[in-house]
Structure formats: structure tokens, C-alpha cells
Chains A and B, each alone.
Chain A
Amino acid sequence: MADGSLVALSNTLIGGRFAVDTSQVLADAGGGLPAYLARDRAAADGRRVALAVSRDASPRARHLKMLDEPIDYLMAPLSHGIAPNPGGNGEGYFVVCTSPPGPPVSAALNVWPEKALIDLVLRPIAAVLDILHARRLTHRAIRPNNVFQGAPGQPVTLGAAWAAPPAMHQPGVFESPYSAMCHPACRGDGSIGDDVYALGVLLLTLSGGKIPMASMDDATRVRWQLDLGSFAALTREFSLSGALADLLRLMLAEDPEQRPLPSQLVDLATTRGRRVAARPARRSQNPLMLQDTAVFDARTLAYGLFLDEKKAVQFLRNGLVTQWLRRGLGDAGSATQIEELVRGRVAETKSGSWSDSLLLMHTISALNFRMPLCWRGIALWPEALPAMLADGIASNAELLAAAEELLSTDVVTSWSEAGARSRRPDAPDLPSQRQVLQGGGPGALLRLFYASNPLLPCRSPTTTTAWVATMPDLMRFFETAAEREEDSLIDLHISAFIAARGDRKIELQVSGLAGAKDAESFRRAELALLQDLQARYHPSPMPALAKWVAGRLRPDLQRWRNKPRREAMRARLDALTQSGSLSRLLELVEDRSAWVLDSAGARLAANEVAKIDAEMAAIDHEDKARFAEAERFGRAIAGGIGLSAFILMVMSVLL
């Protein structure tokens, strides 16, 4: 009993060290994500934080892989894994991090002195960002409720950003306008410049004790930021010292490449005297009215076109936009470029229903190359396609449709080629993903989802309580699910999951399963797949699954014609079930040579029976013929007797 409880306990420990106590909720420790107390069994001060991962939003796998040790002033990830959910409600996935030193700075949003801002906020966070930057990582979750301070006068600690997609929970104001206008799941890893921008907004917030532009909705704020520039828009209601204003002007620069690097922020001497070298945007005196919004420059025009796709296409096709660009803004170059785009799209017929979307995407990109990819009313950065896919599959059909279009066409490639976006992370391997999508059948999109979100669990309706993220997890799930006696264990989600996270041979088998034409061939393919999965990912016995498989194999025994052999095989099947080895079960039932012998024996037996039937029919129907024969033979015998008697008599006279 004690051994069993120890085994159960070790199974629930994350990384063999961390026990998640879901009964103790740490309300403010997760920066907006659910956080629970975790205990490190290998440390004296074992208090840690476990952040719950949503089933619909992928944690940041690359960060979790590359950050595996504590970092000063950062809630660094220590381990991650599966643990029971609160209330014993199935399993969840948790990222265990170092503890925050105290409450978040948002708990009591005060005005911080400039020196404290620099020493206690800017320098520690810049040091953290510098470490991340050295590892080609970004944080993307710098906001007041994710920055913690133990006590006044203490340096702040940056919270975790590992349990959700980058910037997903960021308020729009802490993102540059080109990220804020994106769907929260579509902001992507971005660059370290995006973290510097968020740090700038955090400094501004703490310097004034309030969140800038808090009263505005996202679209209005973004429009203001595009119109005035982020620094001007955000600092309108703040009075800043000259040094801080200069610093924030750099940090909030529109061009990420003009923002200082974290290492420069650690030592502010390198930033002093630097100025943002930005050419003022060309503005028109006569605004272009897009719906009820007046557009004065190309940046706000691009954003306005993005907000209303239908109207935008109408304005592009009737030449209103190019006319305004040429006459109102005096930008003949952009006008000509867009006219060529419109002409090209009109002439090109193969794009079909995407024609307008392509036109709009290229037009927005041409008007402002810093804009994200705008596709069917959704703005996104291409590196966020996996997170977009996850969010779309979870709850957003519109997002899913857009993701599918982007993955199955070369839209992203043509968008990337159109602008210089070198500091953004690379998009996923689009050609190979397109190949999967085009040749992968009905589960192709799911397969892409599972392949590009390696830590998210299988979304099959049967796995809602378990966190099935790896092949061993799946085998554990099969062993549990087999006890429920369901007809089939592998549905569309699970087959896509296996294809995405299994090896190449397994992927081919899943394709065979998807191509099964009837229930019988599906059953056979399913059993063969389960056998291979056990051989590859779970060589130890699986008695419940073996019992389930044996139940599905039992009808196959009817193929065997020899009854005693069939009974013997049935008994053998039951005996092998105890061993928990699927391959032995299938070997027994699918012994081809023995089955051929059995069939040959059945044919011989059938021939023998036919002969017997024919002979018995002859016995039954040839009675008269036999009687006639007996008469002939009997009379011949009588004649023979008479002849013998006659000869004897003659001989007795003669001799």
C-alpha cells in the first residue's frame, strides 16, 4: 500500500521534483493566468509557482526547452508537466516557475520616482531581456500585473511568460500598434524590440501611476498611435522629465530597429544623446473619409483599409484611394504601385475568391511595410500561425478558416517577400505544411495543429479529462480508455495526433487508417496501428488494451473453419490477453500459413462430405436397380445349381 502511494505520488510530481498543490491558488502570481502553489521536493525553500496551461493556447515550447535554470529578476521556468487539475477534475499541464518576491506592481499602482524606475525597474528587467536576447528569445509579457516587487526599494522581478502564446494576455497598450492590432493569439514571438517597447510603456505607467490611454478602446488607441506616433500618443497625459522622455522616445520608437537593445538599457550612458531618426510622415490637408474616420496619412490609411475590408476593396477598385494618394497626399509613387496591384488583381483570375483579400493585403503592405499580414479582417504575424491554428480550432471558426487559407497557399510567402522584415522570427516551414495540408486528407489541418503545437493535448472528445500530449501519454490513455469498452479508440483527432507526433512509419499507417473504405478495414487498420504503437512507445504489458483488442479479434476466429482449432485459439487468445502484448494477439489470429492450411483442410472436408452425400443419395435412389441385379444374379445362381445337378447326374450315370 505504501509502495503504491509512493508510485502514485512520483507519477504526479512534475519532473520528479515538483508537487502541484491545486488547493492553494496564488491569485496574483500568474500575471493573469491561473497559478497554484508548487513545492520543490529537492530544495529547502521549496515554494514555487505552477502556472496552469490552457488546453487551447500553447505554452512556449522553445522557451521551456532553453530556459531550465533560475535567472535573477525573472520567474524562470524550472520544469513543466502533467499534474491533477483542481478538484481532481482530470489532468492539467503546469509550468513550474520560481516564485515572485511579492505582489505585482499593479496591486498598488503608485507614482514611482525616476531613480527608482531606472534602478529598480528598468535595469533588472533590461538585464533579464539581455539574457533572453542572447539566447534569441523574447519575453512578450511585460505588463504591470506580471512585474513583482518584494518590498519598496527592492528590484522588481519579471513574471513568467511561458504558459501561453507570446503576448496573448498583453493589454493592447503594452504592445506596439502593429502588434496590438493583431488578434491576441496572432502576435507572435516578435523581437526583443517589442519587449523594449512594453518595458517603455511599463516605465511610463509607473512614472505616472496610471495606465496610458486607458479610457480608449483598442482601435481608437491604435489609430491615435499611428497618427501621432506611439510616444506622442502615449505620453499626452503625462509630464515627464527630459531624460525619461528621451529614454521613452527611444523605447517607444515606431521602428523596432531604432529601439535600444536591452544591453544599452542596462547602461543608460550608451543611450544618452541618441535620437530617433524618423522622417516625419507625409500628411494630407484633405482627409480621406473611410466610413466615419478621417485619414490623413498612409499609415492610418493602411489601418483604415484593414478595419473594413469590403469598403476598402470598393475604394481600391473605384480608384478613390489612389486618387487621394496622388492628389491629397502627393504620393504618386504609392498611387502608381497600388494601381498596378489593382490592375494585376483584375487581370489575374486564378486567385478566385481570394483576389480581393490578396489585393488588400498587398495594398496595406505597400502603404505601410510595418503593418502585420492583414488577411480577411485578421491581422497576424506569420510566426504566430501555430497559435492562431490552436485558437481557431478551439473556438474561432473565422480564425481557423483564415489559418487554413494561409497555410494552404503561398500568401504568407508573397507577403514576406514584399517587405523587409528581417528581425521577425521565421514563419513555420510553410512549404512542408502546405504539402501536409494538401495531401493529408480530412485530418490534415488537425495534423498541422498537433505538429506545430507540440505541448498541447489531443482534443479528441474522449480525452477531455486527460492531458495527452506525447505518445507515451496516449498509450496511457488507451490503457484507461480500453476499460470503457468503446467501439473504437482512434477517432479523427487521435489519428491526426498520432500522425503529427509519431514517427514516419506510424504516419503512413495513420494515412492507411484514414483511407479505410469500410468498418472492417478500419478495424483491421486500427488494431495494426495499436500494435505498432505499443511496440514503439509502450513495450510494457497493457492488459486492459489487450483485453479490448482480444474482444475485437474474437470475430476473426470465425474465419477458422476447424472447430477444435478455433476453440483452442479462443482459449489461447484469452490466455495471451493476460500478457498484455498486442503483437502476440495479432500474430495468433493473423497466422497466415496456419490459416491457409485450415482453408485447405476445409476444402478437403467439403469435398469429402460431397462424396459421402453422393454415395448416400445413390444408396437411397438405386434400390430398384439393385433388386433387378439381385434377381438376375439369383436366377443365374439357380440356373448354375440346376446345371451342376444335371452334370452330376449325367456323370453318375456315365461313370
Chain B
Amino acid sequence: MSTGSKLGRGMRGLIVLLLGLAGGGLIALSPDIALPLAVLLLPGLLALVLDRTPGCSVARAILLFQAAACVHPVVDSWYRCAGIDGCMSYLAEWPTVLRSWLAAAAAWVVSQSVPLVLKVLDDYRLRYRRSALVAKREALAAEWGLGDGEQR
């Protein structure tokens, strides 16, 4: 528990550091792209603030999904827009924002549903295992007369 918490805190700090470096670098290189990019990554940044899971795993997935969705718009804006207004009007238009935020939503859905699916699959496996164990136990108890009253 404590090891996990330390790891989570370390990961969280590392992500914030990387994001800060990336953000700082971007502001330094192209301050006109940085602002609209912040708008595009807003759900991920908010998730980073609000996420309490170890290592900010949900926020990390959201940011990675959004980053994947923002690669083409950012590269396009690098060559086609100039100035904050221009970049804002190019990058922060609704289709782009919507695609980025949907990616965030998809990331959240995936990060919530995959554990459930895994749990359901594990439960199914264990139910099968348990019934096999019960059958084996009953067979042993019947053969050797062992604790019939304790059968489950």
C-alpha cells in the first residue's frame, strides 16, 4: 500500500514534470500554439488535477489518448497558422476540440470498462475453478469419509 502510494506519487510528479517541461518548451518555441493546445488538452489537465488513482493512471490514459488525437492538428497548425488568434481559430475550432475531448471521453470509458471486463473474466475463471474444487472435495470426502459436514 505504502509502496503503491509512493510509486503513485512519484508517477504523478513525473507526469506533472514532463507536462511542465513539454508545456514550457512549447511556450518557448511556439507560444501561439501552446494556448489552443491547452484548450484541446483541457479534460486531460483537469483529470490530472482531480485523479486520485495511483500514478494518475486515468489522467495518464486521457492525456495519452488526447495527445494521439492532437498530433495531426498540432502539426498542421505548425505550418498553417500564425499568431495566437490564428492558431486559436485554426486549432480551437469545434471539430478539432470535439475530437480531442471525445478521445478524452473514450480514454475515460476504456480506463473504467477494461478493469470491469477483467474482473468479470476473472470471476468467471474463479467460478469454474471453485466448482472444480468443490467437486474434487466432495469426491475425496466421499471416498475417505472426511468432514462431510464441512462441504461447501
Contact = CB atoms under 8 A, between A and B. Distances in A.
B53, B61, B144, B145 interface centre (most CB from chain A within 10 Å): B144
B25 to A, nearest CB: 16
A642 B129 contact: no
Contacts of A645: 64-65, 68
B57 A563 contact: no
Contact of A601 (B62, B107, B126, B144): B144
Interface stretch (B34-42, B85-93, B115-123): B115-123
A308 interface: no
Interface in B31-87: 53-54, 57-58, 60-65, 67-69, 71-72, 75
Interface stretch (A111-119, A121-129, A283-291, A632-640): A632-640
Contacts of A639: 57, 60-61, 64, 111
A648 B118 contact: no
A630 B117 CA distance: 8
B29 interface: no
A638 B57 contact: yes
Given A634-B115, A635-B114, A619 B144 contact: no
B57 A635 contact: yes
Contacts of B111: 634-635, 638-639
A556 interface: no
A646 B71 contact: yes
B142 interface: yes
B107 A609 contact: no
Contacts of B119: 626-627, 630
Interface stretch (A209-217, A403-411, A445-453, A610-618): A610-618
A159 B54 CA distance: 121
Contacts of B141: 609
Contacts of B57: 632, 635-636, 638-639
Interface string B126-152: 100110011011001111111100101
Interface in A586-615: 601-602, 605-606, 608-609, 612-613, 615
Interface residues on B, range: 35 or more
A253 B76 CA distance: 161
A605 B146 contact: yes
Contacts of A626: 119, 122, 126
Nearest to A605: B144
A649 B73 CA distance: 11
A655 interface: no
B64 to A, nearest CB: 3
B65 to A, nearest CB: 4
B53 to A, nearest CB: 7
A11 to B, nearest CB: 49
Contact of B143 (A605, A633, A637): A605
A641 B122 CA distance: 21
A519 to B, nearest CB: 24
B115 to A, nearest CB: 3
B16 interface: no
A612 B133 contact: yes
B64 A561 contact: no
A561, A602, A641, A648 interface centre (most CB from chain B within 10 Å): A641
A191 interface: no
Contact of B114 (A562, A613, A616, A637): A637
Contact of A643 (B53, B58, B64, B114): B64
Given A615-B133, A638-B111, A602 B144 contact: yes
Interface string A563-574: 110000000000
Nearest to A611: B133
Nearest to B142: A563
A626 B75 CA distance: 43
A650 interface: yes
A631 interface: yes
A562, A564, A616, A631 interface centre (most CB from chain B within 10 Å): A631
Contacts of B22: none
A639 B59 CA distance: 9
B144 A638 contact: no
Contacts of A563: 142-145
A633 B65 contact: no
A635 B64 contact: no
Nearest to B71: A649
A642 B143 contact: no
A613 B150 contact: yes
Given A563-B145, A605-B146, A642-B64, A619 B130 contact: yes
A653 interface: yes
A613 B134 CA distance: 9
B118 A633 contact: yes
A635 B58 contact: yes
A646 B143 contact: no
B18 interface: no
Given A630-B115, A630-B122, 17 more contacts: A561-B145, A563-B145, A602-B144, A605-B140, A609-B140, A612-B140, A627-B119, A633-B118, A634-B113, A639-B111, A641-B61, A642-B63, A642-B64, A642-B68, A646-B65, A649-B72, A653-B71
Give me the 8 closest cross-chain CB pairs, A-B, nearest first.
A642-B64, A634-B115, A634-B114, A635-B57, A645-B68, A649-B71, A638-B111, A646-B68
Interface of B: 53-54, 57-58, 60-65, 67-69, 71-72, 75, 107, 110-111, 113-119, 122, 126, 129-130, 133-134, 136-137, 140-147, 150, 152
18 contacts: A612-B133, A612-B136, A612-B137, A612-B140, A630-B115, A630-B116, A632-B57, A635-B61, A635-B111, A637-B110, A639-B57, A639-B61, A639-B64, A642-B62, A642-B64, A642-B67, A650-B71, A653-B71
